[in-house]
Amino acid sequence: MSTAEWLDIGWIDQIPVRGSRTVQVEGGDDIAVFRTAEGKVFALLDRCPHKHGRLSQGIVHGGAVACPLHNWRISLSTGEALGDDKGCTPTVPVKIDGGRVLICRASTLKAAA
């Protein structure tokens, strides 16, 4: 259930394992919500810091996603580019409650603006 703080975006099972789904924010960029092989869920702005590739379309491995455009690896927990690349994608706090995925309302608005 959505509250003033949290947005309810759906069941965790709706996100494929080692995959991602997006949340459309009207008037802003999408939020990409990831689910790792071990069932952790993360949310980032769906935009690579490099050339704005859609991170939601990348290959998820370990705790990172490889951007589909130029294979930058982005940490799912911090949004930082890994390896020699430099850059950061805004993150959005996520929590799971009774199988529902909730993302932070304020961060979503800020990130997507």
Partner 1 sequence: MEHRPLKAETDTREHLVVIGNGMAGCRAVEELIARDPNRYRVTIFGAEPRVNYNRIMLSPVLAGEKSFDDIVINDAGWYADNGIALIAGDPVAHIDRDTKTVTTRSGLAESYDRLLIATGSDPFIIPVPGKDLPGVIAFRDMDDVDTMLAAADAGGDAVVIGGGLLGLEAAHGLSLRGMKVTVIHLMPTLMERQLDEAAGWLLKNALEARGQTILTGADTAEIIGTGKVEGVKLKDGTLIPASLVVMAVGIRPSVALARDAGLAVGRGIQVDDHMVTSDPAVLAVGECVEHDGQVYGLVAPLWDMCRSLADGLVEQPTGYRGSFTSTKLKVSGIDVFSAGDFSGGDGCEDIVLRDASRGVYKRVIVKGDRIVGAVLYGDTADGNWYFDLLKKQEDVSDLRDLLIFGQAFAAGGGAADPKAAVAALSDDAEICGCNGVTKGQVVSCIAKGAHSLDAVRGTCKASASCGSCTGLVENLLALTLGDDVQSGPKTMCKCTSFGHDDVRREIVAQAMRSIPEVMQKLHWTTPDGCSSCRPALNYYLLCALPGEYVDDQQSRFVNERLHANIQKDGTYSVVPRMWGGLTNPTELRAIADVVEKYNAPMVKVTGGQRLDIFGIKKEDLPAVWADLNAAGMVSGHAYGKALRTVKTCVGSEWCRFGTQDSTGLGVRIERMSWGSWMPHKFKIAVSGCPRNCAEATIKDFGVVCVDSGYELHVGGNGGIHVRATDLLCKVANEQEAMDYCAAFIQLYREEARYLERTAPWIERVGLAHIVARIVDDEPGREALRARFLYSQSFSQDDPWAQRAEGAEAEHHAPMARFIPQGETA
Q: Is 49 exposed, middle or buried (0-12, 13-18, 19+ CB in 10 A)?
A: buried
- Minimum distance, C-beta of residue 16 to partner 1, in the bound complex (Å): 6
Site for partner 1 in 27-86 (CB under 8 A): 27, 30, 33, 36-40, 51-54, 57-63, 66, 68-69, 71, 73, 75-78, 80
Q: How many residues line the site for partner 1 (CB under 8 A)? A: 51
Other CB atoms within 10 A of residue 21 CB: 17
The single residue among 15, 92, 94, 104 that binds partner 1, judged by CB under 8 A, is: 15
Letter string b/e over residues 57-82, b meaning 16 or more CB atoms within 10 A of that residue's CB: ebebeebbbbbeeeebbbbbeebbbe
What residues line the site for partner 1 (CB under 8 A)? 2, 7-10, 13-19, 21-27, 30, 33, 36-40, 51-54, 57-63, 66, 68-69, 71, 73, 75-78, 80, 97-98, 108-109
